[in-house]
Homo-oligomer: A and B are copies of this chain.
Amino acid sequence: MEPVRILDVDGRLLDESPLPAEEIRRLFAAMVTARAFDHKASALQLQGRLATYAQFEGQEAAQIGSAAALRADDWMVATYRDAAAMWMQGFPWENLLLGRMGDERGGSPPQGVNVLPPSITVGAHMIHAVGLGWAERLRGSDRVAITYFGDGATSEGDFHEAMNFAGVYRTPTVFLCQNNGWAISMSRERQTASETIAQKADAYGIPGVLVDGNDVLAVFAVTRDAVGRARRGEGATLIEAQTQRMGAHTTADDAGRYRDEATLAAWKLRDPIDRVRKYLQASGAWSEAWEQELIASASVEIETAANRAEGLAPFGPGAAFDRVFARPSAHIELQRAELLRDLGGEA
Q: A189's closest neighbor in chain B, by CB?
A: B168
Q: How far is the CA of A181 from the CA of B185 in the complex (A)?
A: 41
Q: How far is the CA of A201 from the CA of B205 in the complex (A)?
A: 13
Q: A197's closest neighbor in chain B, by CB?
A: B203
Q: Which residues of B contact A170 (CB under 8 A)?
A: 193
Q: Which residues of B contact A167 (CB under 8 A)?
A: 192-194
Q: Which positions 192-220 of chain A face chain B at CB distance < 8 Å?
A: 192-195, 199-200, 202-206
Number of A interface residues at 8 Å Cβ cutoff, please give it. Answer: 24
Stretch of A26-34, A84-92, A143-151, A154-162 on the interface side? A154-162
Assess whether A164 is interfacial by the CB under 8 Å rule.
yes
Q: Which residues of B contact A194 (CB under 8 A)?
A: 167, 202-205
Partner of A202, one of B155, B164, B203, B205: B203
Partner of A161, one of B155, B190, B195: B155
Assess whether A191 is interfacial by the CB under 8 Å rule.
yes
Q: Which residues of B contact A203 (CB under 8 A)?
A: 192, 194, 199-200, 202-203
Q: How far is the CA of A194 from the CA of B167 in the complex (A)?
A: 8
Q: A236's closest neighbor in chain B, by CB?
A: B193
> Chain B nearest CB: distance from A239 CB in Å?
16
Partner of A160, one of B160, B168, B190, B206: B160
Q: A208's closest neighbor in chain B, by CB?
A: B203
Is the Cβ of A157 less than 8 Å from the Cβ of B161?
yes
Q: How far is the CA of A194 from the CA of B170 in the complex (A)?
A: 12
Q: How far is the CA of A304 from the CA of B146 in the complex (A)?
A: 60
Q: How far is the CA of A199 from the CA of B205 in the complex (A)?
A: 10
Q: How far is the CA of A161 from the CA of B123 in the complex (A)?
A: 12
Is the Cβ of A195 less than 8 Å from the Cβ of B199?
no
Q: List 22 A-B contacts (CB under 8 A).
A: A155-B164, A156-B157, A156-B161, A157-B158, A157-B159, A157-B160, A160-B160, A167-B192, A167-B193, A167-B194, A168-B191, A168-B192, A192-B203, A193-B204, A193-B205, A193-B206, A194-B202, A194-B204, A194-B205, A199-B202, A202-B202, A202-B203
Q: Which residues of A contact B (CB under 8 A)?
A: 155-161, 164, 167-168, 170, 190-195, 199-200, 202-206
Q: A200-B203, A202-B203 are in contact. List 8 more A-B contacts (CB 8 A).
A: A156-B161, A157-B158, A157-B159, A157-B161, A167-B194, A194-B203, A194-B205, A203-B203
